[in-house]
Structure 1
C-alpha cells in the first residue's frame, strides 16, 4: 500500500489560457483542490515553495487554510528553502498550522533549489556564517528548527513577565506534539539523504537529483533511498521512517488528456547543469493509456521503494482537471500496481 498525494508548484500567469491568472486564483484553487483530493480518497496535498516567482511563496497561511477546510488528508510542503527561514519564527507558524490541521502537517524542508534571483536569501536579511556556504546555513537552520519543534525549552524567562510563566526555561509556543516526526528533508544527493537519516528526518526525493553514477534516474533514486534507510538504522532511531518520491504521471483516459499530454510521454531521463558545478539528472515523465502506464511504472525502482508517491499536477489547468488527473491515477493505475 502506498500513500498517494499531489504536489502543486502553484504557478500563475496573466495569460488567457491559464486558469490561474493571479496569486489569489492560485491560493484559493489550491485550497479547493485539496478539498477535492480528500473527497476522492487521496492521502496528501503538498505545495512547492519558491520566492521571487509567480508561484506559492509563504506556505503557512495556505497550510492553515487547507487544514481548516479538510479533516483527513495530509498537508505538506515540497520543499521550504531553509536559506530563507528564521527557524524559531517558522516553528511558531508550523506549530499553529499543525494545531489547526489536527496534527496533519508533513513539512518538507531543504537547502532549496536554484532561485529566480541571485542569492535571494540576502534580501531576506540572511548571510552564511564565517566559512559557511549557503547550503551549510540551510542545514544549520534545519537543525535549529528540529530542536525547537520537538519542544526543547531553552529561553531564560523574564523575572518580571507580562504574564505568569511556567517554571524553568521556556520553549517556542504554540507547541504541536508529534510535529518533529513529520519533518522531511528534500535530498538532492546521497550524502544529504544519509544526513537526513542520521538526524531522524523523513526523506523527500523529487524528480531530480545529483547525477552521481550515470545510471538511470530511478536506479540512482532507489539507491539514495537505500542509503537513507541504512543511515537511519545505523543511527538507532526506533520508528519507521517515511520516504516520498515525486512523479509527473498522466493516465490518458479522455480526449482532453490526449490533447494535453498525448504527445508528451518523456520516455528517457534528462541530464543538465543546475549551476556551474552540479550535474543533475531529471527523471522522466509518464503519459500513456492506463495499461501501458501500469507496465512502465512497474519498472520504476524508486517508486517501488517509496511508501509515498506525490503526483505533480499542472495547476494552471484548473481544479476540475487536476482532480480528474488525481482520480484517474487512483482509479485506473494504483489498484493494478498494488498501491491501493
Structure 2
C-alpha cells in the first residue's frame, strides 16, 4: 500500500448500509427475519441508517414499507430508508398513506427513496399491474410530484368535514410534518439530479450512473452531485448520500476473503465501459482492509463531495458474512473516514 491515508476536509457525518433482503422461495420467513436482524445489528453498531432495496416478482423484498414497519418496532434510533421504491408499481396517494403511517410508528425515522420510469419488464407485467390503464399510465417525474404533494400535506380532494358519524380530511392521513423533508430521489442521470434539486428532495447516488458527458465513473457522479446542489434551494447544504459497494476484510476468515474477491472479480468486467443501450457505468466493488478502502474512497472525486453514505451490501452473501462486513465497517472503515458511532457524543 502507498503512504498514509489523507485526512478528509470534512469527516463522514452519517454512515448507513443497504441490503436487498434475499429469501428462499420454499421458506421465505428466515430471509425476512435475517433482514430485520441485520437492521437491529446496525443500530447496535451505531450506524445512522439502514436502507432496503425493492424487488418485484423476485426473491428479494417486495414490500419494503412493511419490512420497515416491522423494523421500526425492533429499533429505537436508526433511520430507516428505501433505496428505492420504483413508483411505476405504486399509486402515489396510497403509498403516501403507507409512508406517513410508518413514519409515525417509527417516531419520524423514515427516509423514503423513490424513482420513476416504466416498471421493469413492463410488457410482461402490465396486464397484471394495470389491466385497464396500462397504455395511459404516467411514468414521468409527475408521478413523484404527486407523491411529494400528498406527503407534504397538499389537498387530495376538495371534500372534507363530517358526513353522518364519519369525519373526512382533505389531505392524506396521518400527516407526518417532517416526512416531506426526508424524501429522497434515486437518480443516475443529470436530468434526474436537476429535477430532484428543483423539487427540494434529497439525492441518492449509487454504484450505477449513466455515462452522458464522460466515461469516468467518479467524474460522472461528481457532476450529478454538483448539478443537484446547483438546483436545490439549500445549495451546497442539500443532502446527498453515496452508495458504493464496500467489503472490508479486517476480521474476515480466509474463506470469506476468497469469496469476496471472487465476487468482485466476477463483477469487474462491467466497470470497464458503458453497458447496454442506456450506457450505464458501474463502480468497482471495493474489497480490502478498512485502511485500503478508505484510501480508495478519499481518491474518489464524488466521495470527497459528500458527508453521508449508505454502503451497499453484496446481493448473494450469507448472514454471517453481513455481520462481519457491518462490524468491520462500524469499527474500522467508518472511523477511518472520520465517522463516530451514533451513540457517541459528537
2:293 match: 293
Q: Aligned pair 1:324/2:324, yes or no? A: yes
Deviation at 1:30, TM superposition (A): 1.2
In the alignment, the residues of structure 1 paired with residue 19 and residue 85 of structure 2 have an alpha-carbon distance, to the nearest angstrom, of: 13
Deviation at 1:115, TM superposition (A): 2.6
Deviation at 1:117, TM superposition (A): 5.8
1:152 match: 154
Contact 1:149/1:175 (8 A) holds in 2: yes
1:242-261 equivalences under 5 Å are: 242-253=239-250, 254-255=252-253, 256-261=255-260
Q: Aligned pair 1:82/2:81, yes or no? A: no
Deviation at 1:10, TM superposition (A): 1.9
In the alignment, the residues of structure 1 paired with residue 230 and residue 161 of structure 2 have an alpha-carbon distance, to the nearest angstrom, of: 47
User: CA 1:285–1:182 in structure 2 vs 1: closer, same or farther (change >3 Å)?
Assistant: same
1:4 match: 15
Deviation at 1:307, TM superposition (A): 2.6
RMSD: 2.5
Contact 2:196/2:202 (8 A) holds in 1: yes
Give unpaired runs (5+ residues) of structure 1.
Answer: 15-20
1:200 match: 200
TM-score, normalization by structure 1: 0.86
Deviation at 1:113, TM superposition (A): 8.3
Helix, strand or coil: the match of 1:188? coil
Helix, strand or coil: the match of 2:203? strand
Deviation at 1:121, TM superposition (A): 4.8
User: CA 1:239–1:62 in structure 2 vs 1: closer, same or farther (change >3 Å)?
Assistant: farther
1:170 match: 170
TM-score, normalization by structure 2: 0.85
In the alignment, the residues of structure 1 paired with residue 156 and residue 84 of structure 2 have an alpha-carbon distance, to the nearest angstrom, of: 27
Deviation at 1:35, TM superposition (A): 0.5
Q: Which moved more, 1:116-125 or 1:55-64?
A: 116-125
In the alignment, the residues of structure 1 paired with residue 150 and residue 135 of structure 2 have an alpha-carbon distance, to the nearest angstrom, of: 21
User: CA 1:265–1:39 in structure 2 vs 1: closer, same or farther (change >3 Å)?
Assistant: same
Helix, strand or coil: the match of 2:73? helix
1:17 match: none
Deviation at 1:279, TM superposition (A): 1.0
- Aligned pairs, how many? 322
2:238 match: 241
1:188 match: 188
User: CA 1:252–1:180 in structure 2 vs 1: closer, same or farther (change >3 Å)?
Assistant: same
Contact 1:99/1:176 (8 A) holds in 2: yes
In the alignment, the residues of structure 1 paired with residue 24 and residue 213 of structure 2 have an alpha-carbon distance, to the nearest angstrom, of: 37
Q: Which moved more, 1:202-211 or 1:264-273?
A: 264-273
Kindly provide the CA deviation profile for residues 100-126 of structure 1, in whole angstroms up to 9, marking residues without a partner as x: 100000000002587356353552215
Contact 1:252/1:262 (8 A) holds in 2: no
Helix, strand or coil: the match of 2:273? strand
Kindly provide the CA deviation profile for residues 106-157 of structure 1, in whole angstroms up to 9, marking residues without a partner as x: 000002587356353552215354xxxx7x5242111011001111234233
